[in-house]
């Protein structure tokens, strides 16, 4: 009786789900999200800095998860803990190194052209939020470094009027921001950034014949 009906071509009831799916299919079809080919001019090691930044971030999170699971005291008292702290420390160093190299590369390629200004701007925001995340991390170390950073940084926070809401002397607050809220923020921004890159594709080379203007 109820044979499968073919999909109705017009006059569908207003479905938000359908609209979302159609928007995704239009703006980020699978072919663009996971292409197996790239324009031939994507042939420089400079293009690799973005993905190795992501790789470093993955290691930051993995080592961070282990540290968070064992609690903030563990790495001071345990050799294994100290090792995971070292992994976390060096992954963070690599993350910032590769992110800045990626920024240099994108700047000299003027990667914001052809409708990609928002991608660039999100990248700068990621840079800022990453610095904030690292800052709360340094404050969460519970060693001399975090003491002195806290006592000094409070002056800048207070001068800016945010010291009462972002109290760098309050370990509990800084730790909570560092292990949960800020990593979620960084992850959301990075995913957004990647989606924007994949949706538009890699920008064309700078060419006086057409394609410099954003």
Q: Footprint of other proteins on residues 192-211 (CB under 8 A)? A: 199-201, 204-207
CA distance 168 to 149: 9
Give the Å distances, CA to CA, from 95 to 52, 53, 54, 99, 160: 8, 5, 8, 6, 28
Whose Cβ is closer to other proteins: residue 185's or residue 201's? 201
Per CB under 8 A, contacts with other proteins among 87-106 are 87-91, 93-94, 96-98, 100-101, 104-105
Q: According to the binding rule CB under 8 A, does residue 191 interact with other proteins?
A: no
Please identify which residue in 70, 134, 185, 192 interacts with other proteins, judged by CB under 8 A.
134
Stretch that binds other proteins, among 7-15, 110-118, 180-188 (CB under 8 A): 110-118
Residue 44: CB partners within 8 Å, gap ≥ 6?
none
Closest to other proteins by CB, 6 or 43: 43
CB 167 within 8 A of CB 173: yes
Taking CB under 8 A as the criterion, the residue among 61, 132, 163, 192 binding other proteins is 163
Sign, Cα dihedral of 135, 139, 144, 148? positive
- Asked if 78 touches other proteins (CB under 8 A), the answer is no
Residue 141 DSSP one-character state: S
* Dihedral pair phi/psi, residue 83, rounded to 5°: -60, -45
Instruction: Give the one residue of 148, 187, 188, 191 binding other proteins; rule: CB under 8 A.
Output: 148
Q: Taking CB under 8 A as the rule, does residue 51 contact other proteins?
A: yes
Give yes or no for residue 132 binding other proteins (CB under 8 A). no
């Amino acid at each position: 009786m109820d044979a499968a009906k073919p999909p109705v071509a017009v006059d569908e009831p207003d479905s938000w789900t359908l609209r979302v799916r159609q928007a995704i299919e239009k703006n980020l079809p699978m072919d663009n999200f996971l292409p197996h080919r790239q324009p031939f001019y994507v042939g420089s090691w400079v293009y690799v800095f973005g993905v190795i930044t992501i790789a470093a971030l993955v290691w930051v999170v993995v080592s961070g998860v282990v540290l968070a699971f064992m609690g903030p005291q563990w790495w001071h008292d345990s050799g294994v803990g100290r090792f995971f702290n070292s992994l976390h420390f060096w992954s963070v160093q690599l993350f910032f190194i590769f992110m800045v190299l990626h920024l240099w590369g994108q700047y000299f390629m003027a990667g914001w052209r052809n409708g990609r200004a928002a991608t660039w701007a999100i990248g700068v925001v990621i840079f800022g939020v990453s610095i904030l995340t690292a800052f709360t991390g340094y404050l969460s170390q519970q060693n001399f470094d975090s003491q002195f950073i806290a006592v000094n940084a409070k002056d800048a926070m207070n001068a800016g009027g945010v010291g009462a809401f972002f109290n760098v002397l309050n370990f509990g607050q800084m730790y909570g921001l560092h292990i949960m809220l800020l990593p979620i923020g960084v992850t959301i921004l990075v995913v957004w950034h990647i989606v924007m890159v994949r949706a538009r594709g890699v920008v064309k080379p700078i060419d006086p014949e057409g394609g410099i203007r954003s």
